[in-house]
Amino acid sequence: MPAAAASTLPEPAAPAFSPLYQQIKSLLVRSLQGGEWAPGQVIPSEVELAARFRVSQGTVRKAIDELATENVLVRRQGKGTFVATHAEQSTQFRFLRLTPDDGSAPALRRRLLDCRRMRAPPEVARRLGLKTGEAAVQVRRLLLAAAAGDEPRPVVLDDLWLPGPQFKGLTAERLQAWQGPLYRLFEAEFAVHMIRAEEKIRAVAAAADEAELLAVPAGAPLLLVERLSYT
Amino acid sequence: MPAAAASTLPEPAAPAFSPLYQQIKSLLVRSLQGGEWAPGQVIPSEVELAARFRVSQGTVRKAIDELATENVLVRRQGKGTFVATHAEQSTQFRFLRLTPDDGSAPALRRRLLDCRRMRAPPEVARRLGLKTGEAAVQVRRLLLAAAAGDEPRPVVLDDLWLPGPQFKGLTAERLQAWQGPLYRLFEAEFAVHMIRAEEKIRAVAAAADEAELLAVPAGAPLLLVERLSYT
DNA sequence: TAGTGGTCTAGACCACATC
DNA sequence: ATGTGGTCTAGACCACTAA
């Protein structure tokens, strides 16, 4: 079939021109987000997907290729293509990889400290594109790393600000009960899908309250990671 | 030509089986390292390369694809494929982007502090793959940022360790006289081409000597960027 | 043996840049 | 008009995995 066949296909709600394989990629992502294929599970074979979408195997392959290089999917020769599971693991730092000095990979535990609804401070309002005085939700969490045999040690203080209007029903109880990654909750309950994030890194001295929570002396050097996520 | 043609081709010093496109990729990298195509210049078209290597355009394309996703090459539709040059701009922090808090882009100046040849300390020897006691070159530089109208302020202390054997003629005088990016000097004089780098980031408190050089109080929080470059 | 992804080829047309 | 990379297809064979 000639390449021109692309224009004879129905284009499923594609706003503008985009390569077929990009459209396929979007459809795959949508299925992944929709939970059609669970993490760790196989997705249909390339030929199956090609048949489903009415494109050639090569086009499906290119879409899968990109998702594989993005570590969203994992290919295993002879077995199939699987939904990546390590991306789910480290909810935190999906974009910045966090490793202990010795290179080991301890188990991370989360502890919810706080979840309050309040008027957004000016700085936060600006970053989130809220009007000053509009509601925002502040979530504070502590991440504890437990090396083998050691007791958990606090390593990350997570300060999260969410735009109030889009997170109406979010309460401490809801958060407390949720076990999986936060962004999964956001997707499931609030239809909020994170697409992209910018991170800035600074070195700061620990403030008194931060020092106490992290069990370090006040003034100890800390990494401040400022992450702004877009939906 | 069927796929089996791959086995009829001469395999140029390939130690073991590897996909044709990977071999092509290696050849391209070798040409890049050898300086056959200079940064910013066009490389031959896909069809030309396909003819040169006796493979199909698609195979060359896949090799170039990977080099493009690695930011070694840049494709420009209708014009050709170019050797990436974005490395030239910001000598410093090719992999980590460094920006002032206010987002402006001040001019960076370099000041050479030190250039000594010495026995590599154990830690450095390990990282550089040297035998303990083998020679290493330590280069220390200060980067000063001059915002418009302000006097230059030291912002980065650059501590550089080089394997001695590969940098025989490197002296403080040679460094002092050199104006361009360091890696340019390395390429021109020592045939050393940086391909890849790993960076780790920590927050540390300023030691006494570092604090003095950077004009901050001792113990002030600093970002420690540990970069290991591969050739 | 059958099915999967992995590689390779060949040829078509499109979009862009240049002359 | 020509040449470049960009997309898409179709079909071949290979390597791995599992029943």
Task: Give the closest residue to A202 by CA, choosing from B204, B38, B171, B3.
Answer: B204
Q: Which helix (H) or strand (E) holds B63?
A: helix B57-69
Strand A221-230, strand B42-43: pairing? unpaired
CB of A121 closer than 8 Å to CB of A137: no
Model confidence over B122-151: pLDDT tens digits? Answer: 888 888 888 888 889 898 888 887 766 667
A102-126 mean pLDDT: 80
Sheet with B42-43, strands from edge to edge, namely B42-43, B80-83, B73-76
φ/ψ of residue A130, rounded to 5 = -100, 160
Taking phi first (over 0 means left), then psi (-120 to 50 degrees means alpha), and beta for anything else, what does residue A133 get?
Answer: left
Q: Is the pLDDT reported for residue A106 higher than 80?
A: no
pLDDT the model gives residue B91: 45
Task: Give the closest residue to B200 by CA, choosing from B84, B95, B105, B117.
Answer: B95
Helix (H, G, I), strand (E, B) or coil at A50: helix
Task: Give the closest residue to A43 by CA, choosing from A88, A76, A83.
Answer: A83
In this structure, chain A runs to a length of: 231
A85-89 mean pLDDT: 52
Q: Is A58 on the interface with B (CB under 8 A)?
A: no
Determine what percent of chain A is predicted with pLDDT higher than 70: 74
**Which nucleotide C1' is nearest A77 CA?**
C5
Q: How far is the CA of A2 from the C1' of C12 (A)?
A: 6
CA atoms within 13 A on the CB side of A48: 7
Helix (H, G, I), strand (E, B) or coil at B130: coil
Q: Is the pLDDT reported for residue A92 higher than 80?
A: no
Rounded Cα–Cα distance for residues A73 and A88 (Å): 12
**Which nucleotide C1' is nearest B19 CA?**
C7
Model confidence over A193-215: pLDDT tens digits? Answer: 665 667 778 888 888 888 888 88
pLDDT the model gives residue A187: 67
Q: Which helix (H) or strand (E) holds A204?
A: strand A196-205
When CB atoms are compared, the residue of B69, B200, B221 closest to A222 is B221
Q: Is the pLDDT reported for residue A8 higher than 50?
A: no
Structural domains of chain B, ranges and CATH numbers in brackets: 20-83 (1.10.10.10), 92-230 (3.40.1410.10)
Rounded Cα–Cα distance for residues A219 and A206 (Å): 5
**Which nucleotide C1' is nearest B3 CA?**
C8
pLDDT band for A88, please (50, 70, 90 cuts): very low
Strand A107-119, strand A80-83: pairing? unpaired
Those residues with Cβ within 8 angstroms of residue A166's Cβ, 6 or more apart along the chain or in another chain: A190, A192
Which residues does chain A have within 8 Å of residue B220's beta carbon, measured at their own beta carbons?
205
The larger pLDDT score, comparing residue A6 to residue A68, is at: A68
Task: Give the closest residue to B157 by CA, choosing from B200, B198, B218, B215.
Answer: B215
Q: Is the pLDDT reported for residue A58 higher than 80?
A: yes
Tokens 């418009």, located at residue: B148
The residues close to strand D, meaning Cβ under 7 A, are A 1-3, 5-6, 19-22, 55-59, 62, 76-79; B 2-4, 17, 43, 45-48, 58, 61, 75-81
CB of B145 nearer than 7 A to strand C: no
CB of B58 nearer than 7 A to strand C: yes
Q: How far is the CA of B93 from the C1' of C9 (A)?
A: 42
Q: How far is the CA of B78 from the C1' of D1 (A)?
A: 14
Which of A71, A223, A225 is the mutation pick for testing B, counting most B CBs within 10 A? A223
Q: Is the pLDDT reported for residue A152 higher than 50?
A: yes
Q: Which helix (H) or strand (E) holds A173?
A: helix A172-177
DSSP-assigned states of every residue in B1-24? --GGGGGGS---S-SS---HHHHH
CB of B56 nearer than 7 A to strand C: yes
Measured in angstroms, the CA of A14 and the nearest CA of chain B are apart by 23
Q: How far is the CA of A61 from the C1' of D17 (A)?
A: 20
Rounded Cα–Cα distance for residues A70 and A67 (Å): 5
Report the b/e string of A2-11 with b at 16+ CB within 10 A. eeeeeeeeee
The larger pLDDT score, comparing residue A6 to residue A149, is at: A149
CA distances from A153 to A100, A179, A216, B201 (A): 12, 20, 10, 20
pLDDT the model gives residue B120: 87
Q: How far is the CA of B55 from the C1' of C11 (A)?
A: 15
DSSP-assigned states of every residue in B154-219? EEEEEEEEEEGGG-TT--HHHHHH--S-HHHHHHHHH-----EEEEEEEEEEPPHHHHHHHTS-TT
Which of B223, B226, B228 is the mutation pick for testing A, counting most A CBs within 10 A? B223
Which residues does chain A have within 8 Å of residue B200's beta carbon, measured at their own beta carbons?
99
CB of A188 nearer than 7 A to strand C: no
Strand A153-163, strand A196-205: pairing? unpaired
CB of A212 closer than 8 Å to CB of A228: no
CA distances from B218 to A71, B158, B172, B211, B225 (A): 42, 18, 28, 5, 18
Q: How far apart are the first and last CA of chain A?
A: 38
**Which nucleotide C1' is nearest A18 CA?**
D7
pLDDT the model gives residue A170: 83
Average pLDDT of chain A is 77
Measured in angstroms, the CA of A76 and the nearest CA of chain B are apart by 17
pLDDT band for B100, please (50, 70, 90 cuts): low
Burial category of A83 from C-beta neighbours within 10 Å (exposed 0-12, middle 13-18, buried 19 and up) = buried
